């Protein structure tokens, strides 16, 4: 559990929960001064950051070996991301749970996609009649989440298109809820969103296709979004690479990219919960959560809302504690106030995981 630590300066435990100091005793947080000698660390402290959409154990070609997955998790940890929601991976990363030096992972099991409608080697590729059975299977394998691929390019149409009929979605999402799991879905385009929301979905990843018609629907049903803006920034490159074969798809991606900030800002303004996720582990490197928070601010979220999306708000959403009395001591200390400039998040002074200084 390491030394007794005294974190001194400003402890940002929540938007209205700020302290001058805390202690780390036996790997847990205490706001009561202990009798033991303590090592003092000064600065501005936040709960360990959350990357609410990443893929430990995955790269652009599929599952990776254990050494590569370990490096991915360490990159996240050293960037201050101490809680990861793994939004789909073909790898079994349960071994990380035994490692006190690695972030905690909340798993969604393996992606569930329509046949030939997703990235090769990533997902279970099935037809609608099997959707409920696969959702139940992944709900039991995961940590309270299931990940669907809601839309993908349809080669016959040459553009993004929904993957599942509404009836199959409603049955499968109901089954996940019966298993105690929430359901999220990858969605770039507009057309799948209304069906997913009315079928009972809990969250949408990317959500670039939100419109004036679907934003109120999300707000009414309490559906969260994880915009992954650092990933959406790659859309122009993807469009250029596929334009010769799928010009409609390429132009669609460019339109979604052009209004990405407006889309996220409108969602937040309507009261939709927005959380920070990077989509690391496919084509993007791990350790980019600070950049994603910066993108949320660029999109127009107030700084406090962008910080919450990667700290206390995200932890509450995922059912994990923040800087509360007796909680595991997962925190990050910075040299200046991230509320004044979120770019500070890219340069942690100390990373404390389960009470030990690890970076």
- The average pLDDT across 162-175 equals 98
Q: Are residues 101 and 227 in the same domain?
A: yes
For residue 164, the domain's CATH number is 3.20.20.140
Closest CA to 247 of 327, 183, 153, 315: 153
For residue 17, the domain's CATH number is 2.30.40.10
Q: What angle in degrees, to the nearest 10, is found between the helix axes of 247-258 and 260-269?
A: 50
- The average pLDDT across 6-30 equals 97
| Model confidence at 333: pLDDT above 90 | yes
List pLDDT tens digits, range 216-254: 999 999 999 999 999 999 999 999 999 999 999 999 999
Q: Name the one residue in this structure whose structure tokens are 């501005």.
A: 44
- The average pLDDT across 333-352 equals 97
Q: Are residues 40 and 140 in the same domain?
A: no
Q: Are residues 164 and 296 in the same domain?
A: yes
The range of the structural domain enclosing residue 225 comes to 49-317
pLDDT at 1: 52
Q: Is the dihedral of CA 128, 132, 138, 142 positive or negative?
A: positive
CA atoms of 320 and 17, how far apart (whole Å)? 17
Q: What is the pLDDT confidence band of residue 3, given thresholds at 50, 70 and 90? A: confident
- The average pLDDT across 47-68 equals 96
| Model confidence at 283: pLDDT above 90 | no
Q: Are residues 216 and 254 in the same domain?
A: yes
Q: Are residues 38 and 85 in the same domain?
A: no
DSSP codes of every residue in 164-195: S-HHHHHHHHHHHHHTT-EEEEEE-SSTTHHH
Q: Name the one residue in this structure whose structure tokens are 């200084």.
A: 357
Q: Are residues 296 and 153 in the same domain?
A: yes
| Model confidence at 54: pLDDT above 90 | yes
DSSP codes of every residue in 230-247: HHHTTHHHHHHHHTTT-H
- The average pLDDT across 151-179 equals 97
- The average pLDDT across 199-203 equals 98
Q: What is the pLDDT confidence band of residue 359, given thresholds at 50, 70 and 90? A: confident
Q: Are residues 227 and 79 in the same domain?
A: yes
Cβ neighbour number for residue 36 with a 10 Å cutoff? 10
The angle subtended at Cα 211 by Cα 218 and Cα 190, nearest 5°, is 90
**Cβ 74 vs Cβ 266: under 8 Å:** no
Burial-class residue 194 by CB neighbours within 10 Å (0-12, 13-18, 19+): middle
Q: Are residues 165 and 105 in the same domain?
A: yes
Q: Are residues 132 and 262 in the same domain?
A: yes
- The average pLDDT across 306-325 equals 98
Cβ neighbour number for residue 227 with a 10 Å cutoff? 31
List pLDDT tens digits, range 179-189: 999 999 999 99
Would the pTM of this model clear 0.85, i.e. be above it? yes
| Model confidence at 75: pLDDT above 60 | yes
- Per-residue exposure over 116-148, b if at least 16 CB sit within 10 Å of its own CB, e if not: ebbbeebbbbeeeeebbebbbbbbeebbbbbbb
List pLDDT tens digits, range 90-148: 999 999 999 999 999 999 999 999 999 999 999 999 999 999 999 999 999 999 999 99
| Model confidence at 316: pLDDT above 80 | yes
Q: Are residues 129 and 216 in the same domain?
A: yes
Number of domains in the chain: 2
**Cβ 162 vs Cβ 168: under 8 Å:** no
Question: What percent helix, strand, coil does the chain show, rounded to 5?
Answer: 35, 30, 40
Q: What angle in degrees, to the nearest 10, is found between the helix axes of 260-269 and 214-221?
A: 40
Q: Strands 145-149 and 182-187: what pairing?
A: parallel
| Model confidence at 168: pLDDT above 60 | yes
pLDDT at 2: 62
């Amino acid at each position: 559990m390491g030394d007794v630590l005294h974190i001194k300066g400003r402890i940002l435990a929540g938007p209205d929960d700020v302290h001058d100091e805390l202690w780390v005793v036996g790997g847990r947080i205490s706001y009561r001064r202990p009798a033991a000698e303590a090592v003092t660390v000064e600065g501005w402290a936040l709960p360990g950051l959350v990357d609410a959409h990443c893929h430990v154990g995955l790269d652009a070609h599929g599952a990776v070996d254990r050494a590569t997955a370990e490096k991915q998790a360490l990159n996240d940890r050293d960037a201050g991301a101490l809680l990861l929601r793994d939004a789909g991976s073909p790898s079994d990363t349960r071994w990380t749970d035994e490692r006190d030096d690695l972030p905690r992972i909340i798993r969604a099991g393996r992606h569930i996609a329509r046949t030939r409608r997703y990235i090769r080697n990533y997902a279970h590729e099935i037809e609608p009649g099997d959707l409920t059975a696969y959702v139940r299977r992944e709900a039991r394998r995961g940590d309270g989440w299931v990940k669907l691929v809601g839309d993908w390019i349809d080669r016959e149409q040459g553009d993004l298109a929904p993957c599942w009929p509404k009836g199959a979605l409603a049955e499968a999402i109901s089954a996940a809820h019966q298993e105690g799991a929430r359901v999220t879905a990858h969605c770039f385009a507009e057309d799948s969103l209304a069906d997913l929301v009315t079928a009972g979905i809990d969250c949408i990843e990317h959500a670039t296709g939100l419109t004036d018609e679907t934003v109120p629907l999300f707000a009414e049903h309490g559906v969260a979004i994880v915009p992954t803006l650092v990933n959406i920034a790659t859309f122009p490159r993807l469009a250029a690479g596929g334009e010769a074969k799928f010009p409609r798809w390429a132009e669609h991606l460019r339109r979604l990219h052009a209004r990405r900030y407006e889309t996220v800002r409108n969602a937040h303004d309507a009261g939709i919960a927005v959380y920070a996720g990077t989509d690391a582990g496919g084509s993007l490197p791990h350790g980019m959560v600070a950049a994603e928070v910066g993108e949320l601010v660029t999109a127009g979220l107030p700084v406090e809302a962008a910080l919450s999306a990667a700290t206390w708000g995200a932890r509450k959403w995922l059912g994990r504690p923040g800087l509360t009395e007796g909680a595991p001591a997962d925190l990050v200390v910075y040299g200046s106030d991230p509320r004044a400039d979120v770019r500070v998040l890219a340069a942690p002074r100390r990373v404390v995981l389960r009470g030990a200084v690890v970076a």
